[in-house]
Amino acid sequence: MSAPAPRTDPMTVLAVGDVVGADAADWLAARLPRLREEHHLDWVVVNAENCAVTGPSPMDGFGMTVEVVDTLLAAGVDAITGGNHSWDGPDVDKVLAYPQVVRPANLDENRGQGLTTLRRGARTLTVLNLLSPTAALPGMNAPPPRPLWPAWTSLAASEDLPGAVLIDLHGESPWEKAAFATALDGTITALVGTHTHDPTLRGHVLPGGTGYVTELGMTGPLGFTGGGFDPVHFAARLRGEDIAALPPYQLANGPLSLGAVVISVDATGATKSITREY
């Protein structure tokens, strides 16, 4: 049997979960040079959907700003993914216009792009962002996402996905993420889950060579329930109370925490290892 054809030169990728707040973006930016050196990183992919506070409640106004995106890119971040908050804040048009910013692909949106391909020499990484309907709450600014499987199959049939393929699946359900990763095992390089903010402990290499982690975890301040902010608005919503009557939400003020994994990829585009980085 002949060996699989090379898709890329081997590479190492740092995938970082939801950056919460501008201070966390500054902190991550300051840590990146050392992380790059320590892990010989070729690419840094960051979900930054919550990197700026621009509204009164985490249901709205918890997206990105040009200023924070510029901070991350200046620090060497190669691609910035999003999620249900990619449509929050005053800078949506400008943020989505960045070639490095990737918004969920499985919805109707003419602005921006749902995937990007990074190339340096013979190292090629395609980064794709998907939004599960489980993470699209009613009343949010995000357009309604299409169901994952039909959206993926039509996208895979119509798009060129060169090199190693990394999917950021922004979703609420651990089992949905696991099922999607299993369905794609052997056809993509890695699937990383984002959105729920609390990191899962282990990464896995599936039998077909796809790397998988259920939740990267947020990158931001610890405290409260670990999501980076006080979830009092969520509790009020659960009780059926009017969240507009509450004071603006506040970020947590505990020590900053990194939610990330390092993914080592071979020349066939398979994941060799996926390890957590704190």
Least gap, CB of 84 to Fe ion (angstroms): 4
Number of residues this chain uses to bind Fe ion (CB under 5 A) = 6
List phi, psi (to 5°) of 202: -110, 145
Q: Which two tokens stand for residue 144?
A: 């309604």
Closer to Fe ion at the Cβ: 77 or 205? 77
**Residue 18 or 266 with smaller CB distance to Fe ion:** 18
Nearer to Fe ion, 67 or 198 (CB): 198
Chain positions 33 to 62 lying near Fe ion, rule: CB under 5 A, are: 49-50
Min CB(257)–Fe ion separation in Å: 14
Q: What percent of the chain is helix, strand and coil (3-state, nearest 5)?
A: 25, 25, 50
Tell me the residue ranges of DSSP E strands in 83-133. 101-102, 115-120, 123-131
For residue 135, what are its two tokens?
């993470």
Interface characters, 73-112, with Fe ion (x: CB under 5 A): ----------xx----------------------------
Longest dimension (CA), the chain: 66
Q: Which two tokens stand for residue 196?
A: 């729920």
Determine the residue with CB nearest Fe ion: 18
In a 13 Å sphere around the CA of 272, the CA atoms on its Cβ side amount to: 9
Query: In angstroms, what is the minimal distance from the CB of 120 to Fe ion?
Result: 28
Least distance in Å: CB of 268 to Fe ion? Answer: 32
Please answer whether residues 54 and 61 qualify as being in contact, where contact means their C-beta atoms are separated by less than 8 angstroms: yes
The catalytic residue among 85, 170, 197, 233 is 85
User: Is residue 204 annotated as part of the catalytic site, yes or no?
Assistant: no
Q: How far is the CB of 20 from Fe ion (least distance, A)?
A: 7
By beta-carbon proximity to Fe ion, the closer residue of 91 and 168 is: 168
Which DSSP letter does residue 97 get?
Answer: H
**What is the contact mask toward Fe ion in residues 218 to 257, using x (rule: CB under 5 A)?**
----------------------------------------
Instruction: Indicate the DSSP class of residue 3.
Output: P
Site string for Fe ion, 184-213 (x = CB under 5 A): -----------x------------------
Neighbours of 154 (CB within 10 A): 12
**Of the candidate residues 11, 14, 15, 18, the single one contacting Fe ion (CB under 5 A):** 18
Q: Which residues neighbour 267 within 8 Å (Cβ) at sequence distance 6 or greater?
A: 6, 7, 8, 9, 10
Q: Using the rule CB under 5 A, is 132 a contact of Fe ion?
A: no
Q: Which of 191, 186, 189 is nearest to 212 (CA)?
A: 191
* Site of interaction with Fe ion (CB under 5 A): 18, 49-50, 83-84, 195
Residues recognised as catalytic: 85
